[in-house]
Amino acid sequence: MSHPASARIHPTAVVSGLARIGEYVEIGPFAVIEDDVEIGDHSRIASGVLLASGARIGRECRVSKGAVIGTEPQDLKFGGEQSEARIGDRTVIREFATVNRGTAHGHKLTSVGSDCMLMAYSHIAHDCAVGDHVILANAVNLAGHVTIGEWASIGGVVAVHQFCRIGRHAFIGGFSRVAQDVPPYILTTGDPLAYYGPNKIGLKRRGFSDDQILAIKRTYTRIYRSGKGLREAIESIGSDFPESREALEIADFCTGSKRGIIGLKSRASSEDD
Give me the catalytic one of 127, 145, 167, 197.
Answer: 127
Does 133 qualify as catalytic in the annotation? no
Of the candidates 150, 151, 272, 259, the one whose C-alpha atom is nearest the C-alpha of residue 217 is 272
User: Residue 32, CB half-sphere, CA atoms under 13 Å: how many?
Assistant: 11
Give the whole-angstrom CA distance, residue 102 versus residue 47.
Answer: 25
Cα 77–126–55 angle (5° rounding)?
Answer: 115
Give me the catalytic one of 22, 28, 113, 144.
Answer: 144
Give me the catalytic one of 3, 126, 145, 169.
Answer: 126
CA 175 to chain centre: 17
Alpha helices by DSSP H, the chain: 200-205, 210-225, 230-240, 245-255
Task: Please state, as a whole number, how many other Cβ atoms lie within 10 Å of the Cβ of residue 41.
Answer: 16
Classify residue 86 by its DSSP letter. E
Residues recorded for the chain: 273
Give the whole-angstrom CA distance, residue 81 versus residue 86.
Answer: 16
Strand order of the β-sheet with 109-112 is 20-21, 38-39, 55-57, 84-87, 109-112, 129-130, 147-148, 165-166
Does 40 qualify as catalytic in the annotation? no
Contact 31, 49 (CB under 8 A): yes
Contact 52, 38 (CB under 8 A): no
Contact 35, 16 (CB under 8 A): yes
Does 127 qualify as catalytic in the annotation? yes
Give the whole-angstrom CA distance, residue 136 versus residue 194.
Answer: 20
Whether omega for the bond prior to residue 184 falls within 30 degrees of 0, making it cis, is no
Residue positions annotated with a catalytic role? 126-127, 144
